[in-house]
Amino acid sequence: MAAQRWRGPCHRAQPVSEDTDENPGGGPPASISLREEFDGAGIAEVLAQLDRELIGLKPVKTRIREIASLLLIEKVRQKMGISAGQPTLHMSFTGNPGTGKTTVALRMADILHRLGFVRRGHVISVTRDDLVGQYIGHTAPKTKEILKKAMGGVLFIDEAYYLYRPENERDYGQESIEILLQVMENQRDDLVVILAGYAERMETFFRSNPGFRSRIAHHIDFPDYGDEELFSIAELMLAGQNYRFSSAAQDAFRRYIAARKSQPLFSNARSIRNALDRARLRQANRLVADLDAPLNAETIMTLEPEDILASRIFAQAADSRVSAA
Amino acid sequence: MRVTQGCFSYLPDLTDDQIKAQVQYCLDKGWAVNIEFTDDPHPRNTYWEMWGLPMYDLKDPAGVMMELSQCRRVYGERYIRMSGFDAGHGWESVRISFMVNRPKVEPGFRLERQEAKGRQQRYVTHAYATDRPEGERYGS
């Protein structure tokens, strides 16, 4: 019984050990079909999903393709026995809010998992609060606990620059940074760390913590979305929720995007999602207002221009035009 | 004398890879893995000292192995065991427990015979190691 259990759970996704299974005679294979590796890992599927579900972000997609190719080649090299050791995979994602950093991190974890560079492929998303403690001796256990949870997957640190507070020299963030750096260096095959945040502040953060910059292999910059891209994102989001714009509402929403972009605190796709949520609210309100009107699937799925034009964004835009004049 | 306690203790000592596989098994079952240590090898010594808190919500054994290597660095000359705690309804108890570290030299036990009332004999198991104070028992 004991012996059975002991043999039971020996399943680790490690490319090197797979290789020995396939070649019981020993020795690395002389040639490997790249196509087979590519199809076997199912990367094409992840990349296609990335193209389908993420609008725009051309430079990001190109970088991810490059990284995926690099990892694929690295995996083949490992199989052939000419490995250069575990490559550094830590990354930094910089860009404005709502440009898809978290979404891409999830996809990245998937790619890394499929290629066998992380064992489990889960993502633990944290901010400063999860890593840094409130009193002396609290930080190290807290950071280590998060690191342990992230082992075998990806640790996504959002707004990483908050870890470092130069104005307070006794800030516990420094302690957390030291532990992170140590684990990032010594346990590269156990975990991949992705730092994310706004570009300028990340730049300052890296300048004051050169240890991070040198341990991060891939810096990816997320550009802002254009108007037309934002509109496609909106349509994609609505389709996911089984809603659609009427043709008049499409124009209204295009105008909404233009108006919203000029307002402060515009956070790209996140603002779009919030706008759509509010539009759904107004649509529901409009439908409920007239209880006797006939209702069919078409009307209940369609957002009309008045659902969008009622937004305070238009009122504010009008105000500012009046005050300017 | 080699102390045998918990699962697998009649097998050769588990290698790190085997420990990892066991931990993975526990994590896949959703159990919390806990590291405990002691230098009192008596079989009735049930409550060992804990190394940190039990590790909940882990996905991969690397985190547990990190703690184990730290525990070994500090208490390498003591017994260390791992247990898997199942918080599931109806269980709420330790489901697996196995040793992952033992002192290099284990002096073993002596049997003491006590004369009790009448002609009664009482037997006491006494670990040689516990003749010395805690912390100095296994050469450390």
Name every chain B residue with its beta carbon within 8 A of the beta carbon of A182: none
**Using one digit for the tens of pLDDT, what is the confidence trace for A205-250?**
999 888 888 889 889 999 989 888 999 999 999 999 999 999 999 9
Question: B24 in contact with A at a CB cutoff of 8 Å?
Answer: yes
Name every chain B residue with its beta carbon within 8 A of the beta carbon of A12: 20-21, 24
Is B33 in a helix, a strand, or coil?
strand
Tell me if ipTM is over 0.85: no
Paired residues of A218 in beta bridges: A91
Q: Which two tokens stand for residue A288?
A: 């409920």
B116-137 residues labelled b (16+ CB within 10 A) or e (exposed): eeeeeeeeeeebebbeeeeeeb
The secondary structure of A159-177, three-state, reads CHHHHCCCCCCCCCHHHHH
Chain A residues with at least one Cβ partner in B under 8 Å = 2-3, 5-6, 8-12, 119-120, 122, 141, 144-145, 147-149, 151-153, 187, 190-191
Name every chain B residue with its beta carbon within 8 A of the beta carbon of A9: 21-22, 24-25, 28
Average pLDDT on B48-53 reads 93
Write down the pTM of the prediction: 0.79
**Using one digit for the tens of pLDDT, what is the confidence trace for A54-85?**
888 888 888 888 888 888 888 888 888 887 77
Nearest neighbour of B60 by CB, restricted to A119, A141, A144: A119
Highest mean pLDDT range out of A260-264, B36-40, B135-139?
B36-40
Q: Residue A94, Cα to own-chain centre: how many angstroms?
A: 11
pLDDT band for A324, please (50, 70, 90 cuts).
low
- Considering only the C-alpha atoms of chain B, give the largest distance between any 2 of them, rounded to a whole number of Å: 60
In this structure, how many other beta carbons lie within 10 angstroms of the beta carbon of residue A285? 11
The CA distance from A146 to B77, in Å, is 29
Interface of B with A in 107-136 (CB under 8 A): none
Contact between A5 and B57 using a beta-carbon 8 Å cutoff:
no
Per-residue pLDDT, A26 = 58
A2 CA to chain B: closest CA distance, Å? Answer: 6
Contacts of A274 (CB under 8 A, 6+ apart): none
More confident residue, A277 or A49: A277
The CA distance from B44 to A157, in Å, is 46
